[in-house]
Amino acid sequence: MLNFTLELPAGWCDITEELPGNPPPTVAKSRGVGALQFSQAELENGEPMTLTADDLLEMVKGIARSADSVISFDELCETSGTLRVGAVSLALDGNFVRLWGVCDGRGVVIATYTCDWAERKPGELVECDRLVESIRVVPPAVVGIA
């Protein structure tokens, strides 16, 4: 279960239920060209609070390499307060793909934006950047009987 919040820019909406199968949470811009999906990373070693932006960059580059032996470009390592972001872009099967690893010290969310390479729009990617930077991990709700 994903435990995070984010701020959707105007014109963006949740399209998860419109997709076939059991997709991860997915948002897209109305009349946009791509979609942004989210997953929460399970960490094998260490706590989220110890991850750096460089660690997150290496994490998303590893995901990119596992998708194919592709060359990544447009790398980003950024820290702002407690928020750390590592990101990378790649071309994969005729698509433009941008991966972000986002950590606020409580957890890690992986965001993946995909669109057709020929149809990509820089403005839509800028909106994705802002959306990703709004991600905040929240503690899971504890339900019980006292």
CB 127 within 8 Å of CB 12: yes
One-letter amino acid at 98 equals: R
Q: 94-141: per-residue pLDDT in tens?
A: 999 999 999 988 889 999 999 999 999 999 999 999 999 999 988 765
Residue 142, pLDDT score: 57
DSSP character string of 68-119: -SPPEEEEEEEEETTEEEEEEEEEETTEEEEEEEEE-SS-EEEEEEEEEGGG
- Express each pLDDT in 21-66 by its tens digit: 999 999 999 999 999 999 988 776 657 778 899 999 999 999 888 7
Domains of the chain by start residue, with CATH? 4-137 (3.40.1000.10)
pLDDT (0 to 100) of residue 88:
95
The predicted pLDDT at position 25 comes to 94
pLDDT at 45: 65
